[in-house]
Chains A and B, each alone.
Chain A
Amino acid sequence: MIITFELNGAPASARVMAPVSLLDVLRDQLGLPGSKNVCEQGECGSCSVILDDEVVCSCLVMAGDIEGSTVVTVEGLGEGLNPVQEALHRAGAVQCGFCTPGIVVTATDLFTKRPRPDDDEIKEALAGNICRCTGYGAIVRALRGLAEVER
């Protein structure tokens, strides 16, 4: 079946022949490899996207069920670096970088909804994003700095 939805601000469609995930469709059919495939069981957050205004794991979204929905991936967060990406970059908060797209999506959603999060809110928002390089210190420092600028 053909599924139509809004992807990064533009109309998109995908052919769905099996109960595959939105993550697979994004990466394999729609040429958007920014969302990473790591665990496929909702544990790591590397595949985070914004679906109808909420951050979810795209590996757990059935592609056939997103008819009419709005999806924003890391590729759709704007031209160039957004403030979250800028902050992570400046703080050296990227090691191997595999978790980074998921962290960028999750943190961008956090700052959109709460422009001045405190440390607890930052850590809570990122509880579902695992960094295997354990670079949490620099990630939290970067976002704390951004929250302070916003203040």
Chain B
Amino acid sequence: MKVHHPTTLDEALAAVEAGAVPLAGGTDLMVEVNFGHIRPDHVVGLRRIGELSSWEDRRIGAMVTWRTVETKGPKAYAEAARTVGSPQIRNAGTIGGNLGTASPAGDGHPFLAAVDAGVELVSRRGRRVLAWSDFFTGVKRTARQPEELITAVVLPERLPMRHAFGKVGVRNAMVIATVCAVVTRDEDGATTAAFGSVAPTPIRAPRAEEMISAEPKPTESALAEFQRLVSEEVQPITDHRSTEAYRRHAAGVLARRLLERCLR
């Protein structure tokens, strides 16, 4: 068993290139270890790398915890953070680890999708920023190469004026989303709607977005149409947490409520 404790990104990248498994807060990784699903014997802990924990303006370091996002993040991102696990999980769990796992139910993803954020990846060969939609490639699959680390989330220059996060689950605390979503609405009516847990990757609902963006003051019937289009556009499956039909319904209702919150 070898665990590296680097204090610089360069040292960490060298370890990753040599095959070490990145370890952030451990709240996903150690569950896998404790269940006997994996047994990594070469690990690189990322906790001591200052650059990864820093938050400068639009660039949020991968090691920033949910606890920090909860206290100083943009509104909908902070709302999402507040629903992650429990205080213990939010103290340890990071945004980079959430992206590393890339669970379809990851609560951080809808915000990134709704505001068109990028994911910064660095290897010893260079640095690249992928659009969120290029980063997520499937259920727990991403475009990250084995020798790369996720180093930051990069927000757009300007965030939409209003944005809201919501999550449907079986209880309030400690729940994996049946559906989670972020809706944004700008001054000029431009609207985005992004969803988690209703497809292999986080997704947007472009037809619903286009329809409601053209409504400066959405009427009852426009809101109903928005809800209907969202239910149609999401691509959920039935699994142990919920059924396809319920997820479609819940996604539509949730999106409409979040939009109403943005319009208030």
Interface residues of A (CB under 8 A from B): 1, 3, 16-19, 21, 40-43, 45, 48, 51, 54-57, 59-62, 64-65, 67-68, 106, 124-125, 127-129
**A42-B88, A48-B88, A65-B5 provided; 20 other pairs, C-beta below 8 A?**
A18-B1, A18-B39, A19-B33, A19-B39, A41-B31, A42-B86, A51-B92, A55-B87, A55-B88, A56-B91, A57-B88, A60-B26, A60-B30, A62-B3, A62-B30, A64-B3, A65-B47, A127-B174, A128-B173, A129-B86
Interface size class of B (residues with CB under 8 A): 20 to 34
- On whether A128 and B174 interact (CB within 8 A), knowing A19-B39, A48-B88, the answer reads yes
Residue B57 at the A interface, CB < 8 A? no
Residue B63 at the A interface, CB < 8 A? no
B35, A128: Cβ atoms closer than 8 Å:
no
A43, B174: Cβ atoms closer than 8 Å:
yes
Nearest CB to that of A49 among chain B residues?
B88
A59 vs B35: C-alpha distance when bound (angstroms):
11
Give the distance to chain A from B168, nearest Cβ to Cβ, in Å: 18
Residue B145 at the A interface, CB < 8 A? no
B1, A40: Cβ atoms closer than 8 Å:
no
Jot down 5 A-B pairs with beta carbons below 8 A, ordered by A. Answer: A55-B87, A55-B91, A56-B91, A65-B47, A128-B85
Residue of B25, B29, B40, B174 with most chain A CB atoms under a 10 A cut-off: B174
Give the distance to chain A from B250, nearest Cβ to Cβ, in Å: 23
B86, A127: Cβ atoms closer than 8 Å:
yes
Over the window 21-57 of chain B, the binary record of Cβ atoms lying under 8 Å from chain A Cβ atoms (1 yes, 0 no) is 0010111011101110001110101011000000000
B5, A21: Cβ atoms closer than 8 Å:
no
Listed from nearest, the 3 A-B pairs whose CB atoms lie closest are: A128-B86, A64-B3, A65-B45
Give the distance to chain B from A73, nearest Cβ to Cβ, in Å: 14
A42 vs B39: C-alpha distance when bound (angstroms):
18
Residue in contact with A45 in the complex, picked from B5, B30, B86, CB distance below 8 Å: B86
- On whether A59 and B5 interact (CB within 8 A), knowing A45-B86, A48-B88, A65-B43, the answer reads no
Give the distance to chain A from B149, nearest Cβ to Cβ, in Å: 16
A51 vs B43: C-alpha distance when bound (angstroms):
19
A43 vs B29: C-alpha distance when bound (angstroms):
14
Give the distance to chain B from A67, nearest Cβ to Cβ, in Å: 5
Residue of B1, B35, B45, B86 with most chain A CB atoms under a 10 A cut-off: B86
Nearest CB to that of B33 among chain A residues?
A19
B23, A65: Cβ atoms closer than 8 Å:
yes
Residue B67 at the A interface, CB < 8 A? yes
Residue B158 at the A interface, CB < 8 A? no
A45 vs B86: C-alpha distance when bound (angstroms):
9
A21 vs B47: C-alpha distance when bound (angstroms):
16
Nearest CB to that of B21 among chain A residues?
A19
Nearest CB to that of A54 among chain B residues?
B91
Residue B2 at the A interface, CB < 8 A? yes
Residue in contact with A64 in the complex, picked from B43, B67, B173, CB distance below 8 Å: B43
With a cutoff of 8 Å between Cβ atoms, the chain B residues found around residue A64 in the complex are 1, 3, 43, 45
With a cutoff of 8 Å between Cβ atoms, the chain A residues found around residue B26 in the complex are 60-62, 65
A128, B89: Cβ atoms closer than 8 Å:
yes
Residue of A16, A17, A19, A42 with most chain B CB atoms under a 10 A cut-off: A19
A43 vs B43: C-alpha distance when bound (angstroms):
24
Give the distance to chain B from A128, nearest Cβ to Cβ, in Å: 2
B5, A54: Cβ atoms closer than 8 Å:
no
